[in-house]
Every structure is written in C-alpha cells, then in structure tokens.
Amino acid sequence: MQKLIECVPNFSEGRRPEVIKAITDAIESVESVRLLDVDPGKATNRTVVTLVGDPESVIEAAFRGIAKAAELIDMRQHSGEHARMGATDVCPLIPVSGISMEETAAYAQRLAQRVGEELGIPTYLYEAAQPNKKRSNLSVIRSGEYEGFFDKIKLPEWKPDFGPSQFPAGPGATVIGARDFLIAYNVNLNTRSTRIANRIAFDVREAGRIKRDGNPISGKPVLDENGEPVRIPGKLKHVKAVGWYIEEYNLAQISMNLTNYRETPLHQAFDETCKSAEERGARVTGSELVGLVPLQPMLEAGRYFLEKQGLSTGVSESELVHTAIRSMGLDELAPFDPQKKIIEYLLKDSKSEKLARLSVVDFANETASESLAPGGGSVSALAGVLGAALGTMVANGSANKRGWEERVAEFSPWAEKGQKLKDELLYLIDEDTRAFDGIMNAYALPKDSEEQKTIRSQAIEAANQYATEIPYRTMKTAYACVEVLAAMKEIGNPNAASDVAVGALCIKTAVRGAWLNVLINAPGLKDRAFANRIVSDAEALLKKNHEACDAIILAIEAELRK
C-alpha cells in the first residue's frame, strides 16, 4: 500500500486572498503533493489547508507553506475569534495509508526541527509527536495565546522543542504534531426530532450523558465527591456526537467525529447508532461522510457487512467499497463517488495503470503493435493475474456454494490472499513497462562531459538492475499463488477442478516467462555479484514453481480422466 499522509496546517490569515494564495502556491510548488482543500474564515481570520501525498513531499510542502506564512503574516496586526499563537498556528500530520502513527510522528519531528532551526520559529511538538505527555495537548500548549507567549516562552517548562527561546513578534510560534485522521460522519434518522437525535448521540458518544437524580421535575445532576457531575459513558470510544435537525433534508441527524477510526471503525459507529435508534423508536435511513475518508475504513466496513451476510470477504476492492456504500446508505442524500471521496483514489494517477486499465481487446492489440511495450514481462505478469484470479474465483465460489454455508470462514482467507496477490500482479504489469522506460530514459541522458558520462553510466546500471528485479518480483508473487491453488485443489468445489488446473498453468507460464526476462536483463549488469545472485535465486524459484504447478495440474488431469 502506498505511503500517504495528510497535513492540515492552520494559517492565521482568513481575510486577504492574495496572502492565502501565496501560501498555497508555495505548498503546490512541490509537484507530488495534492492540495485538496482551502477553507478560509473571515471571523476567525484563519485558513485551514488540506494537502496529501507521500511523507517526504508533504513535509517539504508544509515547510514551504510555513516559511511563506512567516514571511507574509505579521501577528502584531492579527485579530480573530480563534485561539492562535503564530502565523502557522498548528500543523498536524495524519497517517492515511501504508504508514504507522510512529512513523508519522517521526516525520512531524523532522519538520518541527527544520522549522525551528532554519526559520528561527519557536516550535512545539504535540499529540503523538510529543514524547512529554504533560505538554502534548494542543490547548494546553497554546494557552495564553500570542499575547501571552512573550512571557510564557521564558519559563523553563515551556522552552520550545526546537528553535529559539525568544518569542519573535512577527511570525510568533507554531505547534507541529501527529494525530489520527478525523472522520466527520453524519447518520440520518427517520425523524425530525432533535430531542430523539440528541438522546441517540448521548447513547453512542464516548462522553455519554450526565447522570440525573431521577426526579422527573428537577432532574438534577448527580455529583461525585469533588462536586463534579457524574457521567454515564456512551458505547463508543473516540467518538464525539450531537443531534441536530437539517432543514435542507428535512430530517434529524447524529453528527459524529470519529477521532480514532482504527479503534472505533466506521461500521461500528453506524451499527451502534442503528441499535440505539431502534431502542428509541427511530430508524436509521442512511448516512453521509463529510469531506474525505481513507480507503482502509471503507474496506473494513465492506468486509464487516459481507461477513454479517455470511458471504466471502475475499472480493475485489471495488466490491468491498460498493458493499460499504450500500450497507451504510452513504448515497442516500447525495451520490457517493468513491473516486472523489476516498483519499487514495483522489490521488491515484490513472496514467500509472495504463496497461492494467485496458480492455482485453485493447491489451492484445497494443501487445501486437510494433511498440516494444507491453513486452514479455508485462504479459507474464498478466498470466499471473489470471492464475491468481482463477484461484480466488474457486475460493469465492466454494464459499458461496449451496450447502457449504458453514464453510465460508474456511474459504474467505484464501480468497482474500488471492485478491492481494492478484492486485500486486496487476501493478507489476505496468511496473515492468515503467522499468523498461527507465532504461530508455537513462540511455537518453547527456554524455558530453566526463561527469555526465559517469552519471549516465550509473543511471543505466541502476535502471537495468531495477528492470531485472521487477520480473523476479513477478516470479515471487506468482509463486505465492500456488498455495491458494493447491488449497483449492484439496478443499475447493470439485466442479471447479479444471479452473484450478488452468490457474496453475497460468502461474507456471507467469513464473517461467518472468524468469526469461531475468535472464535477458542480467548479462548487461556491471555488478556481477548482484547479477549472479538474482539469477541463482530466480532459478531455484523456477524449479520449485515448476514442480508445484505440475503436481497440481497432473493430479487434476488424472482425476478428470477417471
């Protein structure tokens, strides 16, 4: 899965469009970063910017935005309703996919150090990036705001994590950290009653409700020994919720913020809200996601609802997303377009999947053309895709076979594994062609000087090594499919035995075809130790795959002859 992080810097300017534009232009000067949203507020005099990309690019873009804000925003002239302490008031990094919170926190620390040292801005860490939990809360750090920080920064306990211990009047200070992705999620009810919606919200939110004394007239809060109201906790951790009426849709909603969707997933919030609604005589009719959502909670929701239906969870990614949308009614109030609502899809470059997105006819025609790509490497990966797909098909078909309903849990893991391998091989179809393009690009480098010749030679070697590694990766991925096919030969629907055998034939072709691409690329490598090692490893893998596939094919063929 691609490593992606989101960054949501808050800049202390919401009234001068030209300043906001200069800041976002600085952010967008990093090509591989996608600017998703710019939300200025005049009353708060604050703009919230949302950008997404790979970690290195995001922290570079954030640094450029922070630098530009420090240049153009003078906090001595700033006023607004929102709490603030600097030109860039806060800059959180949020893991989206393929990256842990710990890794994201490390990137936040790198960014903070650079801001402090290169820009001379006092910088504090917060949330997951702050090792000292006594000063990890944003509101505690920001207490006193801009005006109070001239004195606060001098206190030993409030020395910045990075940067000077003197407060610069112009840019002020900033807070940089790492936190979880926040999902804004509304659940729709078949009522217009805000009172019922609030009761349901109190049922599910972590804070719950204040305990009352039971007197129907006074309803006074029950107090603890410290005189604080006793609370009855709600069902869901990491969930904030309130009920409200939406005039536009003529219905009441429970409006929720899921602050940690890994511990309280989207589907759990939906299901628990449904249960509370029914207990209070209402019904959930659908829901809506406000803003963007990562792919992971959508896939988890799809698997969850398929499991509840007693169906295999080893379906394609698109089918999991579709199941999540329909099960939670995410398209009740407006169409839900996954390509525009799911962060990873919004960022996906369709050009990077040029071959995999072709129809069968177009792929065949493109292969038959005079163009050198797609070549044998891409076709080998495609053969692997088909082998993985056939094994997955048998697993899913067996899971859904009439009379085998109790065996769904046995087949679903095999189908899930097959789907993952199929998707990896789909990626390798185009990656093989991209590796070939890399060789062509390396040869096209200038060679007018000795330095250029050296750079060109190094680039050619690196490109050739990568072009050798990709077919070997195809071999390893295709070989991993044998386990799925062997399992389906033993426990799958016997009526699909020929499909298993054809799948094994496809895998045998994929591995042998990729092996030939390793062989043709390896002799051109200057690093003979690397070349000899990858050829040796590939040859050993070829032998294992040949034996394993033949065992499946011959056993099935013998069985079918009876």
Give CA separation, 350 vs 9, 356, 430, in Å.
28, 10, 11
Q: Report DSSP letters for 126-144, one per residue.
A: EETT-S-GGG--HHHHHTT
Q: Is 82 a catalytic residue?
A: yes
Q: Is 180 a catalytic residue?
A: no
Non-local CB neighbours of 269 within 8 Å, separated by 6+ positions: 185, 187, 204, 236, 239, 256, 258
Give CA separation, 160 vs 130, 141, 275, in Å.
11, 10, 47
Non-local CB neighbours of 309 within 8 Å, separated by 6+ positions: none
User: In this structure, what token pair is assigned to residue 118?
Assistant: 């290169």
User: In this structure, what token pair is assigned to residue 560?
Assistant: 């079918």
In SS3 terms, 399-447 reads as HCCCCCHHHHHHHHHHHHHHHHHHHHHHHHHHHHHHHHHHHHHHHCCCC
Q: Which of 280, 267, 344, 348 is nearest to 309 (CA)?
A: 267
Q: Report DSSP letters for 352-399, one per residue.
A: GGTTTTS-HHHHHHHHHSSSS-S-HHHHHHHHHHHHHHHHHHHHHHHH
CA 304 to the chain's CA centroid = 18
4-7 vs 34-41, strand pairing mode: unpaired
184 by DSSP, 3-state: which? strand
- CA within 13 Å, CB half, 528: 0
88-97 vs 46-53, strand pairing mode: unpaired
Crossing angle (nearest 10°) for helices 450-491 and 528-561 = 20
Which ranges constitute the DSSP H helices of 120-193? 138-142, 145-152
**227 secondary structure, DSSP code:** S
Non-local CB neighbours of 236 within 8 Å, separated by 6+ positions: 204, 205, 206, 264, 268, 269, 272
145 by DSSP, 3-state: which? helix
Choose, from 78, 82, 322, 546, the residue flagged as catalytic.
Answer: 82
Q: Which of 158, 264, 152, 165 is nearest to 205 (CA)?
A: 264
**315 secondary structure, DSSP code:** -
**Dist. CA 479–CA 384, nearest whole Å:** 9
Residues with a known catalytic role: 82, 432
